[in-house]
Amino acid sequence: MKLQEIADSLGLYKSTAHRLTSELCRSGYLQRNAETKAYHLGMKFVDISSHIIDNLDIRELSKPGIRHLNDITKETIHLAVLADTQVIYVEKKESPHAVRMYSQIGRVAPPHCTGVGKAILAFQSPEMIDQMLGSGSLRKYTANTIVARDALLRELAVIRKDGFAFDREEHEPHVGCIAGPLWDHSGKVVASVSITAVLYDLKIEELVTHKDLLLSTCTEISKSLGYGGGADKNTPGLRGGPVRRRSRMKKVPKRALMQRK
């Protein structure tokens, strides 16, 4: 964004916005393109995001399941987490196929048009859904992006019923996925795992054949996070009440998580 755009969006005088952006540039939070005069996020955010990602236990706990899904499906597997009102990719296991997609660890995912985003969004409170979607119009990325709020809310209701989400080329052309939610010890959906494919020769319906494998893997990862089920009747495959994370970790070591299957 250029300085005037920043000032207008914040309701500030241009001189005030200039002082703020100058200080943020000095601190490394913003950078200014000398040619376009536009500001973008600075390298300081790389340090912050790296620190957050490196300290997420969920990455380590999910790795056996992600490897298992990758080995069986031969497709790209993503792990995304909820961070405030954003969804961020924190782990990825690449497909062995020659044709690959653009995705990066640390990349922010739009919640309304990605499988990982919708799998998390669907199980939030109505207030949280409103916060994550924002007050403006939903951005259209492809011809398949759902931009009507009522239509998106109907889809989220279907996701809660079925237990998994689709991305039908809604964020990137020729890229689709199915995604399942991950539940933590408190009974909240905090992350999601997706099986993602480049849809040139593959049809989205073929990904659905991996649905049971995806959901069973999500169940195992959720259990390792201390979730025992019961907090939401729409949670597929999980039973019982919440358990303490520490005791669960003793029973299910990380290396044994998938071996037990």
Residue 71 inside a domain? The answer is yes
Decide if pLDDT at 246 tops 60: no
Residue 130 inside a domain? The answer is yes
Q: Tell whether 133 and 22 lie within a shared domain.
A: no
pLDDT attached to residue 57: 83
The C-alpha atoms of residue 120 and residue 23 are separated, in whole angstroms, by 35
Q: Tell whether 92 and 152 lie within a shared domain.
A: yes
Q: Tell whether 54 and 38 lie within a shared domain.
A: no
Residue 261 inside a domain? The answer is no
Kindly report which listed range (8-12, 64-68, 150-154, 228-232) carries the lowest average pLDDT score. 228-232
pLDDT attached to residue 56: 63
Residue predicted with more confidence, 150 or 202: 150
User: What is the percent of the chain where pLDDT is above 70?
Assistant: 82
Q: Tell whether 36 and 120 lie within a shared domain.
A: no
Q: Which helix (H) or strand (E) holds 83?
A: strand 76-83
Q: Which of 61, 60, 107, 101 is nearest to 86 (CA)?
A: 107
Number of domains comprising the chain: 2
Q: Which domain holds residue 7?
A: 3-42
Residues 6+ apart with CB under 8 A from 58: 79, 81, 90, 182, 190, 191, 221, 225
pLDDT attached to residue 236: 43
Decide if pLDDT at 238 tops 80: no
pTM for the whole structure: 0.69
Q: Write out pLDDT tens, residues 31-62.
A: 999 999 999 998 888 777 766 666 568 888 99
Q: Tell whether 110 and 217 lie within a shared domain.
A: yes
Domain CATH for 32: 1.10.10.10
